Amino acid sequence: MAQGAPPTERRNPRTADIDTLESGEVLRLLLDEDARAVEAARAATGPLARAVDEAHLRLTRGGGVHYFGAGASGRLAVLDATEITPTFGVERGLFTAHFAGGAAALTDSSVDQEDAAELGAADAQVLDQYDVAVGITASGSTPYVAGALRAAHAAGALTVLITCNPLAPLCEQADILVVADTGPEALTGSTRLKAGTATKVLLNAFSTAVMIKAGRTYSNLMVGLVATNAKLRERAVSVLAEATDLSKEACRAALEECGGRIPDALVRLLTGCPPDQARAALAAHPGVRAAVAALGGHAG
């Protein structure tokens, strides 16, 4: 591989003999490389924090977060965006993943549209100045992402690039550049491995931090989770019991009084207010801590 290739496309000297090793050694090498990926993601905390803060500001003004990606990177973005609503109870569309080629390409890698810059630009036409466009590309050069970021910038949206290439060609199209310098893959060019690990870590951290700032958690508890089955309904009761040190019976009763809404039930339990007052306080002061404080209560 030429020296001018992105780091993710170069050969890794640490794994040159990987095809001669026993399974345990193969796994050790693969997982050692993944550990390096997590450290590379950790090193990007500074710019990622800036992206979180800027995204929070735009979401408070009615905007949304839009991911743009292709291949393994894009599929990880779809996974992250899909989990936001059930985890935090926000409206669908607050986080949206745009994948090069759409649903057909998502499950069939032979439908490859990552070179379609015009498709990225078209998908980004829904953005405005209150939105955040996050381009995800390990090489930092995917044309679909380039088209999306150009269109997003023209619309006044905040643009963020998440990449594993410190010299990403698209860096100039991003207001905020987040680089996890993962280096060569265990298998040359297979960015579903180490680059994929770093990308998943960064996306999970980004979206979770944005939701924490929005008051969608209480302590480290998922008070916004949507209880769609029996297991999750019991988890909701457990969350309330953990947050209040009250019995599960009391928490279950409060949850029923509040129509199954965990934040409402938690505010009711922490302040003693009726369900309608708890709901009104949350509407006026997003986040359980803020709502409790507004009602003169104390959040632990």
The pTM of the full predicted model, rounded to 2 decimals, is 0.93
- Residue 287's Cβ-side half-sphere holds a number of Cα atoms within 13 Å equal to 16
- Residues in the chain where the model's pLDDT stays below 50: 1-2
- In the 8-state DSSP scheme, what is residue 221? B
Look up 185 and say whether it is catalytic.
no
Contact indicator for 298, 288 with CB cutoff of 8 Å: no
Contact indicator for 168, 139 with CB cutoff of 8 Å: yes
Look up 83 and say whether it is catalytic.
yes
Catalytic annotation, pick one of 9, 33, 114, 185: 114
What pLDDT shows up at residue 190? 95
What pLDDT shows up at residue 112? 81
Residue 221: count of CB within 10 angstroms of its CB? 16
Tokens representing 28?
């050790």
Host H or E run for residue 178: strand 176-179
Q: How many helices (H) and strands (E) does the chain have?
A: 12, 5
Contact indicator for 70, 137 with CB cutoff of 8 Å: yes
Cα torsion through 30, 79, 72, 131, rounded to 10: -130
Residue 25: count of CB within 10 angstroms of its CB? 12
The label of the residue with tokens 């890698």 reads 109
User: Phi and psi at residue 240, in whole multiples of 5°?
Assistant: -65, -40
3-state secondary structure of 235: helix
C-alpha 89, offset from chain centre: 14
Query: How far is Cα 231 from Cα 4, in angstroms, rounded to an integer?
Result: 52
What pLDDT shows up at residue 3? 53
- In the 8-state DSSP scheme, what is residue 111? S
**β pairing state of 132-136 and 95-99:** unpaired
* Nearest by Cα to 15 from 33, 42, 1, 3: 33
* Nearest by Cα to 160 from 71, 7, 58: 58
Catalytic annotation, pick one of 83, 91, 172, 234: 83
pLDDT in tens, 89-126: 999 999 999 999 998 888 888 778 888 999 999 999 99
The percent of residues in the chain predicted with pLDDT above 90, rounded, is 86
What pLDDT shows up at residue 117? 94
What pLDDT shows up at residue 150? 97
Query: How far is Cα 113 from Cα 42, in angstroms, rounded to an integer?
Result: 31
What pLDDT shows up at residue 166? 95
Host H or E run for residue 154: helix 143-154
